């Protein structure tokens, strides 16, 4: 048994969710239709009622608060509040207001994500994120949300994981609109960087005191053989393309190659008030001449290391320490906007959670300005193309009955949140 590891006073402890994955019956977005076509979702499932959050959010939020959490990250579903272009669903907006009011009632500070992978169908039909017309449309939507909820929230993530969205939807083509073109990946990323910039300024115009950032997915890429210059170069390239290129744009204000040709974009510089990072895994990277389509990279987990199913990657708690240390150079407050693991039986999650928090604690001891941690996720939810086959919750969900069962990892997290520390006996 070790000595307890304390976190700074006022540290935010939460969980993260996203609208389509939890609310249920989001039938006006691009995922809803796509899920129905055979072959798209691994287990043939659909989001359906999801966690029935549209009706049960309060029940789950109450549980989160009882677990000692004091914050919650969630997303607003664009297709719910603007089901047809330019037509607002005031009832849906009022529902979000009630949800956020409830968060305050039970002591959860809200962090709102404005775009988390799904798009209104009308937007997708007009070319979605490929089409620059998305920019004024996103601006109008963001303004509407901030006008409606701004008095209740001052922590905003504009876009969740632009890098993952662009790659899965336009590169790997395993998410709608299922395209395979690197050219489109970079076009979408450019549009997202501009949309982020516009959202940043729109939010600040309406709410000068707001804290605006992104929830940005970062992965550790280490050379499989550190003494091989080729492995090292490929690992560095992936790190640059995936982890740095987009953040460079929104901090330095210019589109470096291959996002652009180095052009400076007006008002894009310094448009993050905090660094939000979603961290899950590491990949070892080896040069592989047979894989030109994957930047000549073969990616795998350290032999013998704990990893997720399929191509999920290696669980590597030290990576959280390393990323937080890297982000410290931006000089902004840091939030871990997501961290978690696919584990249907909860065998690995308790250790995963504790080890990542120990790594985070170490970074904080060394001066990293980390202000909060959001575990992905509270209740098992609809895992995109993996459907219900991969479970991420601290609480297990029986999808048919909507019954919730607290997992052991949930009990551990509750002890940590309540103590604002990792208690010695769990170390």
Interaction of residue 376 with ligand GCO, rule CB under 6 A: yes
Under 8 Å CB-to-CB from 115, ≥6 apart: which residues?
Answer: 75, 78, 138, 158, 159, 160, 195
Say whether residue 383 binds ligand GCO (CB under 6 A): yes
Residue 274 binding ligand GCO, by CB under 6 A: no
Binds ligand GCO (CB under 6 A): choice among 5, 12, 14, 18:
18
Between CA 112 and CA 382 the distance in angstroms is 19
- What is the Cα–Cα distance from 104 to 36, expressed in whole angstroms? 37
Q: Following CA atoms 284, 242, 78, 22 in sequence, which dihedral angle do they give, to the nearest 10 degrees?
A: 10
Q: Which C-beta is closer to ligand GCO: that of 123 or that of 164?
A: 164
Q: Does 164 bind ligand GCO (CB under 6 A)?
A: yes
Q: Which residues contact 289 (CB under 8 A, 6 or more apart)?
A: 296
Size of the site for ligand GCO (CB under 6 A): 11
CA distance 240 to 152: 37
CB of 16 to ligand GCO, least distance (A): 7
Q: Does 392 bind ligand GCO (CB under 6 A)?
A: yes
278 binding ligand GCO? (CB under 6 A): yes
- Residues forming a β-bridge with 21: none
With beta carbons less than 8 A apart as the criterion, state whether 389 and 399 touch.
no
Q: Is 47 in the site for ligand GCO (CB under 6 A)?
A: no
Choices 41-49, 127-135, 158-166, 172-180; region in contact with ligand GCO by CB under 6 A:
158-166
Q: How far is the CB of 150 from ligand GCO (least distance, A)?
A: 23
Whole-angstrom Cα distance, residue 270 to residue 45?
41
- Which residue has the CB atom at the shortest distance from ligand GCO? 161
Per CB under 6 A, the segment of 63-71, 99-107, 160-168, 292-300 that binds ligand GCO is 160-168
Q: What does the alpha-carbon distance between residue 318 and residue 109 come to, in Å, rounded to a whole number?
A: 28
Task: Please give the Cα distance from 328 to 78 (Å, whole number).
Answer: 32
Shortest separation between residue 372's beta carbon and ligand GCO, angstroms: 16
Site residues (vs ligand GCO, CB under 6 A): 18, 21, 160-161, 164, 217, 278, 338, 376, 383, 392
């Amino acid at each position: 048994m070790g000595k307890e590891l304390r976190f700074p006073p006022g540290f935010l402890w939460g969980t993260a969710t996203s609208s389509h994955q939890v609310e249920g019956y989001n039938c006006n977005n691009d995922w809803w239709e796509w899920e129905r076509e055979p072959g798209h979702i691994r287990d043939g499932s659909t989001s359906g009622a999801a966690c029935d959050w549209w009706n049960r959010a309060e029940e789950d939020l109450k549980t989160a608060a009882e677990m000692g959490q004091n914050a919650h990250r969630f997303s607003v579903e664009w297709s719910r509040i603007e089901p047809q272009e330019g037509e607002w669903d005031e009832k849906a907006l009022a529902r979000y207001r009630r949800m956020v009011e409830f968060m305050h009632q039970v002591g959860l500070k809200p962090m709102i994500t404005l775009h988390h992978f799904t798009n209104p169908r009308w937007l997708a039909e007009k070319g979605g994120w490929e089409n620059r017309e998305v920019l004024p449309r996103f601006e109008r939507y963001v303004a509407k949300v901030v006008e409606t909820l701004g008095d209740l929230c001052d922590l905003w993530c504009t876009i969740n994981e632009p890098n993952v969205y662009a790659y899965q939807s336009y590169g790997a083509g395993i998410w709608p609109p299922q395209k395979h073109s690197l050219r489109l990946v970079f076009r979408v990323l450019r549009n997202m960087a501009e949309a982020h910039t516009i959202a940043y300024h729109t939010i600040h115009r309406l709410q000068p005191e707001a804290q605006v950032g992104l929830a940005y997915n970062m992965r550790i890429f280490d050379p499989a053989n550190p003494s091989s210059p080729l492995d090292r170069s490929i690992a560095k390239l992936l790190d640059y393309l995936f982890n740095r290129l987009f953040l460079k744009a929104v901090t330095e204000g210019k589109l470096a190659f291959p996002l652009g040709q180095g052009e400076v974009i007006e008002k894009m510089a310094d448009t993050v008030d905090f660094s939000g990072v979603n961290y899950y895994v590491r990949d070892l990277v080896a040069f592989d001449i047979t894989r030109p389509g994957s930047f000549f990279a073969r990616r795998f987990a350290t032999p013998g290391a704990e990893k997720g199913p399929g191509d999920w990657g290696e669980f590597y708690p030290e990576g959280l320490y390393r990323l937080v240390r890297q982000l410290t150079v931006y000089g902004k407050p840091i939030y871990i906007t997501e961290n978690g693991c696919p584990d249907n039986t909860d065998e690995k999650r308790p250790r995963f959670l504790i080890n990542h928090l120990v790594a985070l604690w170490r970074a904080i001891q060394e001066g990293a300005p980390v202000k909060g941690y959001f575990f992905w996720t509270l209740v098992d939810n609809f895992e995109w193309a993996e459907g219900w086959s991969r479970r991420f919750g601290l609480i297990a969900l029986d999808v048919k009955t909507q019954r919730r069962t607290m997992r052991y990892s949930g009990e551990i997290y509750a002890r940590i949140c309540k103590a604002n520390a990792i208690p010695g006996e769990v170390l």
